[in-house]
Structure 1
Amino acid sequence: MTWEVFNIIGTIAFAVSGALVAMEEDYDILGVVVLGLVTAFGGGIVRNLLIGVPVDSIWQQGLLLKTALVAMMIVFLLPSGIIRHSMKWLYFFDAIGLAAFAIQGALFASNMNHPLSAVIVAAMMTGIGGGIIRDVLAGRKPVVLREEIYAVWAMAGGLAVGLGAVQKPLELYGLFIAIVLMRLLSLKYKWKLPRRAITP
């Protein structure tokens, strides 16, 4: 049940995130749908490839596909003023999707009895995969490749799940809130990973 809840939360959050980016880039309704679906399901597809789950299992998620489409259409049909205000919430939706899908991916790999390394990778790729594909299709530099801390929080969630530190539903929801908060705090205070630029 917990796995399904995180799946639904992540799907809605990333579908909305993809739709907002598409509208910000002035895409038409087809572009909104494509970018929203890619953001919502891209990470799960990449994860499935890495841990040996058939990719076509996505077509068995009819309810999630419909949920994503409804979320995108609601955003698309909102008045312009509300949409412009919603752009300020883009990073918030992104943080929710990151946290929900990181935990969902970690639970998925853990339930398949994969080793800790695979659980961490599954958490990271489920959390960031859709966002990377979204940004590339929108002609943007992927957020995860910027100096802002992003993928680290997904990996931390995967580590917590893989080590068995969080198992009960309340603990998992607490981890979800913690990842969202840490992602938003890293944006607010501009926390960065070490970087080194090579200049001519």
Structure 2
Amino acid sequence: MWEILNIIGTIAFALSGVLVAMEERYDLMGVYILGFITAFGGGAIRNLLIGVPVTELWDQGPLFITAVLVMTAAFLFPGILKWTLLKRGVFFDAIGLGTFSAQGALFAASMGLPLSAAIAAAALTGTGGGMVRDVLAGRKPLFLQKEIYIAWTLIPGVLIGSGFVTSDIGAFIIVVSVVLLRLASVVWQWHLPQRRLPVDEKTREPDD
């Protein structure tokens, strides 16, 4: 299941990076760079956090080849991206969020790390690549926008990290749940409670 999630997440995030790069009108090299960062950035950040050598990423030759093939196909035939229906690659990003957050939690659990590490690994693996992608593209990161995003990574982090879910079927159900919840939060604009400091109208500066 870990390998399957790795493949699905890599493909989804690579396509997410390609879609953002093409919307920003990057050239072919920019498409590859943004796609690679989106697909592998979260894993690199996770490895740094939990003490795994970042160099282990270079042992994923088949995944790199898969990402290159997928990004090349999307660049040559951009029509395959039109069925995403949701703006700014949210569809692919939701799939990557669900698969990589579960994969990160599984990775931490397989190393015998505590629940807190599993939660952090799920959050960083699921959102790290997309965060770097949006920063490089000059966009407001998705996890900072009003629709619920990073909070959904708590589901795999808690359920897998606590040992409550250990089967492949359970992990698959978690992935599907996170993907559907993320898409639902965009479609119906779900957001977490917000608080604002009171503003003194007398001293308030005019908006730009």
TM-score, length-normalised on structure 1?
0.94
Q: Structure 2, unaligned stretches of length 5 or more?
A: none
Match of 2:82 in 1: 85
Match of 1:188 in 2: 187
Is it true that 1:121 corresponds to 2:120 in the alignment? yes
Match of 1:43 in 2: 42
Match of 1:104 in 2: 103
**C-alpha spacing 1:136/1:86, structure 2 compared with 1 (3 Å):** farther
Aligned pairs for 1:141-152 within 5 A: 141-152=140-151
The Cα shift of 1:97 comes to 0.3
CA contact (8 A) 1:15 1:36 kept: yes
The Cα shift of 1:163 comes to 1.5
SS in 2 for 1:124: helix
Is it true that 1:53 corresponds to 2:52 in the alignment? yes
1:123-164 superposed Cα distances (whole Å, 9 cap, x missing partner): 000000000000000000000011110011112211110112
The Cα shift of 1:88 comes to 2.8
1:38-88 superposed Cα distances (whole Å, 9 cap, x missing partner): 000000000000000001111100001111111100100005xx2562453
**Distance in 1 (alpha carbons) for counterparts of 2:31 and 2:196:** 35
Match of 2:3 in 1: 4
Quick check: which has more Rg, 1 or 2? 2
| Of 113-122 and 166-175, the range deviating more from structure 2 | 166-175
Point out 4+ residue stretches in structure 1 off by more than 6 angstroms. none
Match of 1:132 in 2: 131
**Distance in 1 (alpha carbons) for counterparts of 2:100 and 2:190:** 22
TM-score, length-normalised on structure 2?
0.91
Aligned pairs for 1:16-35 within 5 A: 16-35=15-34
Report percent identity of matched pairs. Answer: 53
The Cα shift of 1:197 comes to 4.1
**Distance in 1 (alpha carbons) for counterparts of 2:92 and 2:81:** 15
**Distance in 2 (alpha carbons) for counterparts of 1:159 and 1:39:** 24
The Cα shift of 1:4 comes to 0.2
SS in 1 for 2:190: coil
**Distance in 2 (alpha carbons) for counterparts of 1:23 and 1:144:** 21
